[in-house]
Amino acid sequence: MELPEWVTKVGNVWALVGLCVFAAIPLTVAGWPFLGGVALFVALAVLAFAALTGDHGSNQSSGDPSPDATGAEPEDSVAPYPVEQPRGGAQPTGTPSADFHEVVYRHLTSDQPNFLGEDDQTSVRFFVNLRRAALQHGQLEVLVDELEGLIRRSVAYLDNWDILAGPKSGNAALVLATAERLGLKPMFVRDRKLNGQYVECARTSGRVLLVDDVASDAHLLLPTAVRIRQAGYVCTNAFLLIRRGEGTLGDRLGGEGTDLRPPISVAAEHVMSDEDFARLVRSMEAARES
């Protein structure tokens, strides 16, 4: 037996009882004892119903989702992202998890040797496109786990930071999902001004962590970092999922001879070169054949 729908909207059984009791008092005082008696009768009837059925609204007030009659969890109780220890945090730096290996392998392309970066000096065969991986929910979670783990291990007091930023032309999905996971505001930095501004963010000031998925040199990160600081934000740290081993980007961004002084510290979860990608391909293909 279920309470009518209009009753359940009150919130729970006890709220309805209280409502009836408090309604009876002014009705009796106002000279309508019959209506006051009806209100008290309804309150007693509800109490009797609760005593017989054991339904005291406990499922409504509990913070934990309760299984339905089939034993399954309600569909809307699933969080957008797993509330578990990040997989990246359990891995030593430079050692991708099996899931991350799989995502990188799926989005590797191999072609004739081509130039990497802006200087047209470094030739590589393998390229990885993690922006494509970030468009798939399960794979996006793996990327977020890796980046979150790196940031949490590297930043002593995450509460001191306000914003997670990335190039607008970079991996926007990764920036947005990681910012949500860390409880930070997202920021996107454009290549060209829009309405006189490079920066898109809900906050007009604050401390910023800069992130990107893959980088080989500073041709995208450096102007992004410069624009963040020129807009009045504090930015001292940048984080990458993969730094290409053949590239020129080291552990500092900016410095002498650039518009970014003092430099920004750069941390990469994985440093991977053509040789590393080739080894990954061989191991994944061997695993598939076995």
Give the contacts of 105 (CB within 8 A, at least 6 positions apart). Answer: 280, 281, 284
CA torsion sign for 26, 29, 32, 38 is: positive
- Burial group, residue 190, by CB count within 10 angstroms (0-12, 13-18, 19+): middle
Q: Kindly give the pairing relationship between strand 108-116 and strand 122-128.
A: antiparallel
Cβ(241)–Cβ(147) below 8 Å: yes
Cis peptide leading into residue 263 (ω within 30°) = no
Cβ(164)–Cβ(185) below 8 Å: yes
Q: Tens digit of pLDDT per residue, the chain (290 long)?
A: 434 444 444 445 556 656 666 666 766 777 767 776 776 677 667 666 555 544 433 333 223 333 333 333 333 222 222 222 333 333 334 456 679 999 999 999 987 777 776 665 678 899 999 999 999 989 999 999 999 999 999 998 999 999 999 999 999 999 999 999 999 999 999 999 999 999 999 999 999 999 999 999 999 999 999 999 999 999 999 999 999 999 999 999 999 999 999 999 999 999 999 999 999 999 999 998 88
- Kindly state the tokens that stand for 277: 């990608």
The residue count of the chain comes to 290
CA distances from 270 to 29, 125, 130, 203, 242 (A): 76, 18, 13, 31, 5
Q: State how far the Cα of 74 lies from the Cα of 156, in Å rounded to an integer.
A: 37
- Residue 148's pLDDT is 98
- Residue 122's pLDDT is 72
Cβ(148)–Cβ(194) below 8 Å: no
- Residue 147's pLDDT is 98
Q: State how far the Cα of 178 lies from the Cα of 152, in Å rounded to an integer.
A: 11
Residue 277 CB-half CA count within 13 A: 23
Q: State how far the Cα of 129 lies from the Cα of 107, in Å rounded to an integer.
A: 6
Tell me the whole-structure pTM to 2 decimals.
0.66
Q: Kindly give the pairing relationship between strand 122-128 and strand 185-194.
A: unpaired
- Kindly state the tokens that stand for 3: 């309470």
Query: Which tens digits make up the pLDDT trace of 48-94?
Result: 655 554 443 333 322 333 333 333 333 322 222 222 233 333 333 44
Which residue is listed with tokens 């001879």? 257
Rounded-to-5 percentages of helix, strand, coil across the chain: 40, 25, 35
Give the contacts of 215 (CB within 8 A, at least 6 positions apart). Answer: 221, 240, 242, 243, 244, 247, 249
Beta bridge partners of 212: 240
- Residue 27's pLDDT is 62
Q: State how far the Cα of 83 lies from the Cα of 81, in Å rounded to an integer.
A: 6
Which residue is listed with tokens 């009518």? 4
Q: Nearest-CA neighbor of 246 among 71, 125, 145?
A: 125
